Amino acid sequence: MVATGRKYVFDFDSTLTRVEALDVLAELTLNGKSNKEEIIKEIQEITNLGIDGDISFTESLERRIKLLNAHKDDLPILVEELKTKISKSIEANKDFFRDYADDIYVISCGFKEFIDPIVKEYNIPSHRVYANTFKFDEEGKIVGFDETNVLAMHNGKIDCLKNMNLDGEVQVIGDGYSDYVMREAGIAHKFFAYTENVHREKAAKNADYITPNLDEFLFVNDLPRKISYPKNRIKMLLLENVHPDAFKSLSEAGFSVETVNHSLTEEELIEKIKGVHVLGIRSKTQVTKNVLEAANKLMVVGAFCIGTTQIDLDACKAKGVVVFNAPYSNTRSVVELAIGEIIMLMRSVFTRSTEIHQGQWNKTAANSREVRGKNLGIVGYGNIGKQLSVLAEALGMRVYYYDVNDQLALGNAVKCNTLEDLLNISDVVTLHIDDNKANLNFIGEREINQMKNGAIFINLARGFVVDIPALANALKSGKLAGAAIDVFPEEPRSNGEFETELKGLENVILTPHVGGSTEEAQANIADFVPNKIMDYMNTGNTVDAVNFPNIRLPKQNKAHRFLHIHKNVPGVMAKVNEVLARYELNITGQYLSTDNEVGYVISDVNKEYNKDVIKELKKIENTIKFRVLY
Ligand X SMILES: O=C(O)[C@H](O)COP(=O)(O)O
Ligand Y SMILES: NC(=O)c1ccc[n+]([C@@H]2O[C@H](COP(=O)([O-])OP(=O)(O)OC[C@H]3O[C@@H](n4cnc5c(N)ncnc54)[C@H](O)[C@@H]3O)[C@@H](O)[C@H]2O)c1
Residues annotated as part of the active site:
462, 491, 513
Tell me how far apart the alpha carbons of residues 294 and 300 are, in angstroms, rounded to a whole number.
Answer: 14
Report the residue from 432, 452, 560, 575 that binds ligand Y according to the rule CB under 6 A.
432
65 binds, among ligand Y, ligand X, none (CB under 5 to 8 A by kind): none
Task: Tell me which residues in 296-315 interact with ligand Y (CB under 6 A).
Answer: 306-307
| Sign of the alpha-carbon dihedral angle for 413, 415, 416, 418 | positive
Q: Is 87 left (phi over 0), alpha (psi -120 to 50) or beta?
A: beta
Report the residue from 53, 380, 385, 516 that binds ligand X according to the rule CB under 6 A.
516
Select 142 or 378, whichever has its Cβ closest to ligand Y: 378
176 binds ligand Y (CB under 6 A): no
**Among the candidate windows 38-46, 94-102, 234-242, 404-412, which touches ligand Y by CB under 6 A?**
404-412
282 binds, among ligand X, ligand Y, none (CB under 5 to 8 A by kind): ligand X
**Among the candidate windows 254-262, 279-287, 401-409, 422-430, which touches ligand X by CB under 6 A?**
279-287
CB of 602 to ligand Y, least distance (A): 28
φ, ψ of residue 208 to 5 degrees: the values are: -70, -30
Type of residue at 290? N
93 binds ligand X (CB under 6 A): no
Q: How far is CA 365 from CA 311, 352, 360, 369, 484, in A?
A: 47, 11, 16, 8, 21
306 binds ligand X (CB under 6 A): yes
Residue 316: exposure state from Cβ atoms within 10 A (0-12, 13-18, ≥19): buried
Number of helical H runs and strand E runs in the chain: 24, 24
405 binds ligand Y (CB under 6 A): yes
Query: Are 141 and 121 spatial neighbours (Cβ–Cβ below 8 Å)?
Result: no
**Among the candidate windows 149-157, 187-195, 278-286, 500-508, which touches ligand X by CB under 6 A?**
278-286
Three-state SS for 427? coil
540 binds, among ligand X, ligand Y, none (CB under 5 to 8 A by kind): none
For residues 20-33, one letter each, b for 16 or more C-beta atoms within 10 angstroms of the residue's C-beta and e for the rest, the string is bbbbbbbeebbeee
Select 416 or 529, whichever has its Cβ closest to ligand X: 529
Tell me how far apart the alpha carbons of residues 230 and 92 are, in angstroms, rounded to a whole number.
Answer: 12
Task: Tell me which residues in 462-491 interact with ligand Y (CB under 6 A).
Answer: 462, 486-487
Report the residue from 282, 432, 566, 575 that binds ligand X according to the rule CB under 6 A.
282
Select 234 or 345, whichever has its Cβ closest to ligand Y: 345
Three-state SS for 597? coil
CB of 612 to ligand Y, least distance (A): 46
Query: Are 604 and 560 spatial neighbours (Cβ–Cβ below 8 Å)?
Result: yes
**Among the candidate windows 166-174, 183-191, 222-230, 509-517, which touches ligand Y by CB under 6 A?**
509-517
Helices (H), 548-600: 572-582
Report the residue from 330, 375, 389, 426 that binds ligand Y according to the rule CB under 6 A.
330
Q: Which helix (H) or strand (E) holds 424?
A: helix 419-425
Q: What DSSP assignment string belongs to 209-225?
A: EEESSHHHHHHHTT---
Tell me how far apart the alpha carbons of residues 17 and 107 are, in angstroms, rounded to a whole number.
Answer: 14
CB of 304 to ligand X, least distance (A): 6
**Among the candidate windows 89-97, 161-169, 222-230, 402-410, which touches ligand Y by CB under 6 A?**
402-410
Nearest Cα neighbor of 241 from 269, 281, 288 is 281
404 binds ligand Y (CB under 6 A): yes
240 binds ligand Y (CB under 6 A): no
Judged by the rule CB under 6 A, the positions of this chain that interact with ligand Y are 306-307, 330-331, 334, 379-385, 402-405, 407, 432-436, 439, 442, 460-462, 486-487, 513, 515-516
Judged by the rule CB under 6 A, the positions of this chain that interact with ligand X are 282-284, 305-307, 330, 513, 516-517
